[in-house]
Chains A and B, each alone.
Chain A
Amino acid sequence: MVVTAILITGVSRQLGARFARSLAARDDLDVIGVDVLPPKYDIGRTRYIRADIRNAAIGRLLSGSGVETVVHLGMVSSPAETGGMAMMKEINVIGTMQLLAACQTSTSVRRLVVRSTAGVYGASPRDPARFTEEMTARVEPRSGFGRDAREIESFVSRLARRRPDLVVSVLRLAELMGAHTDSALAGYLALPVVPAPMGYDARLQFLHPSDAVTALELVAGADHPGTFNIGAADVVTLRQALAVLGRPAIGVPERLVAPVAAVGRRTGTADMSADRIDAVTYGRCMDTSRFAAATGFTPQYSTRAALEDFAAGLRPGRFRAPRLGQLAAGVIGSALGPARPAARAGSAGDRRA
């Protein structure tokens, strides 16, 4: 049996581990997982190699193991994961540069998959309802993962020009959401009381991690060159999401949003960078039809189902919907109850007498 070697970066993080575990269950693959930290999550039969992608040693690893497919998931989406913006930028940008340089010189690599994010589209009031892959951000993301991902994508397209024989796929993933998802946005939504931009109700689009893994498997296992948006088809609004999670929202006036977020970052309560704040203010949604047309992929989880899966893995909020809804229904029911005409006539008569 021919065994294909596949290298996955970032296996100590949630998505990397999940993807590695799923691939390692197959017999025809030799799955090599790379990260600087030992895996926190179960990675199954993956061969873990402690390596830093910012180091040239990654090139020797590629040629030494005859790696055919490289799946780059080793980017950091939030500064809190690594301790600081500078570190995050270094891992995302310098790390990707090194890894891509190694791929370029390697003779064995013939397929490259790079994770990107919906954050490349930014979020602003000038956005169309859905972004297709050809569109660019109306307002460039100023900071954070979205901006790093734009740089990463530009390195990738340069590599694709220099090595036309490589099959390069870039997946722009929507925000991951599912049971026990550990991300900046998930941490924010799970706060006991959620500060939300006042007067805005952003459209949110999620992607369940199991769907993300399926999409990654599709591009890692067959040639699908190009850039693809990956996400569930539907949207929920921020207020709907908070209602589902049972989290009360406090409206934060526009001018106070940045200072409040800064306090959240300083205290480690919520790691909301400027680009994420824009996303929960103006909302963002991607058109995912190109990937569906190329691969026949349909997500198993809708945005709402992904959110409900996340809610199920979470401690129920104080304002759990059924409780609050029953309360409200009770109040209105008694106000409009069957005794309505009589009660009105009675009380009105009493007052006037």
Chain B
Amino acid sequence: MNSAFFLVLRRMRAPIIGLIVIYAIAVVGLTLVPGITPEGLPAPPLSFFHAFYFISYTATTIGFGEIPNAFSDAQRMWVIICIYLTVVGWSYSVVTLIGLLQDKGFQNTLTTNRFRRRVRLLKEPFYLVCGSGETGALISRNFDRVNQPFVVLEKDELRVQELDLQDFKSDIPALAADARIPDNLLLAGLKHLKCHGVLAVTNDEEANLGIAIAVRLLNPKIPVIARARSPVVMANMASFGTNHIVNPYERFAEHLALAVASPSRFRLIELLTSLPETPIPKPHRPPGGRWILCGYGRFGKALAEHLLPTGITLTIIDPTSAESDQNITGHGTEARTLLQAGIEQASGIIAGTDDDVNNLSIAVTASELKPDLFVVTRQNQTANSPLFDAYGADFNMVPSHIVAQECIAILTTPLLAQFLTRLRDHDEAWSQSLVDRLQNLYDGLTPTVWGIRLNKQEAPAACQALMDGQSFSLRDILRNGMDRSEPLPAIALLLERANHFILLPDEDFKLAAGDQLLLASPLSTRHNLEFSLKNANELAYVLRGEENSGGWLWQTLRRS
């Protein structure tokens, strides 16, 4: 506000002084020129008051006429001069002001100030999303859907404008600024008390690195999640304690290997980490045996590293890499190359180059040669989704989706990571039974995975009830707040009590104050349950069917 105001004052100095001088000349002139009475006799000139009144309405081109009396010819001569003088003065001021408003720098100052004010006024915990590319936009949409406030920093002004045009439920504070500059991070609320985390998901690795280190130094208390592609940058980020590094290539390779080795556990992870309330993805059952890998860059290397231990043998096609099969020429986009690589004996193919058209070409050619082949495609651009959807690969990898899913899963539910690490101790049958329960939870859509702690801030009513000595189990609170005879469709995945973790707690498990729960349920169930746990009257209804009204007087009357 301040800098913009001073900028206006400074730029308007000359026109304002000009206007004052012109008004002074015009008014003083009018008080000197003699007037005339209706009878044609000489009259005294206008007083200062009348002169100022006359000039005020004449200069602004309102023009009430000659007030209070008709003017003498001498006065009219002077007024002619005044009119031209004042119109020039006003035009000059207005043109200067409009020029200032159109000034790029001035507009920037205004938007920056507005952004700063809006960030300062944020009352709820928010996340700072750096970069609004494909990944950032996906994260933004999902945050918006679960009513999670966030702030966006994006270098490209066009993308920020796109963000404004998208129909978000809430109005998102977004600024077109380079997130690598620490000042911009501070402007976006890095040191704001309510800033609960930073997501560095720009397309530029170096920028993500810069953001991560800036957050570590300026506000070490909050977590930073960074996206990285190359192992060097990952190692660098890990060296100064970036809380979470998301490498979509590594992650996808892990998932694919897991899908080969233990499909049910992979399916469980997929269901829990997919974007909430999206259609349930179809199950992937990649076969073992021999695979063809087209493209051996960072993605290909990560895949090879994870797939080889599962017992898969790979034939690598890449014209530039030294580690590929040197007898095979070409990219894999032609039938000849694929036949050379032994597609007849292969059980799967990975189209993993960094070119979407080539990947599609590989996939289509391979399916024509061998229709029952398991095809994995890598989709680099979200814009190509219709093409990949039309082709319908067995498994499609979209880097921006993987990063967004992981960021949201980690940030919104810290307990989920604990749950996922504990999965390793359980066998496939256990995973499969949980997968079946999750799939039946919500018709065709993935559940929302969320956590709640039974403490004063997150669930005040439940916490108070538990401290007052009431005892209730999971089954008691998982009831619909509108009709308590209906159970809520929710699965308690994990319960944490004083750093002890209980996997899949029983329905009869007695809760205690301070417990932290990880639940999977539809979004509406989440709102329903959260409301019951926050509002004492709702909780009394859910637990015991009591219809309390809130008022103190009414309750006292009822008791007496």
Task: Decide whether A and B assemble into one complex.
Answer: no
A binding-site residues for B, Cβ under 8 Å? none
B binding-site residues for A, Cβ under 8 Å? none
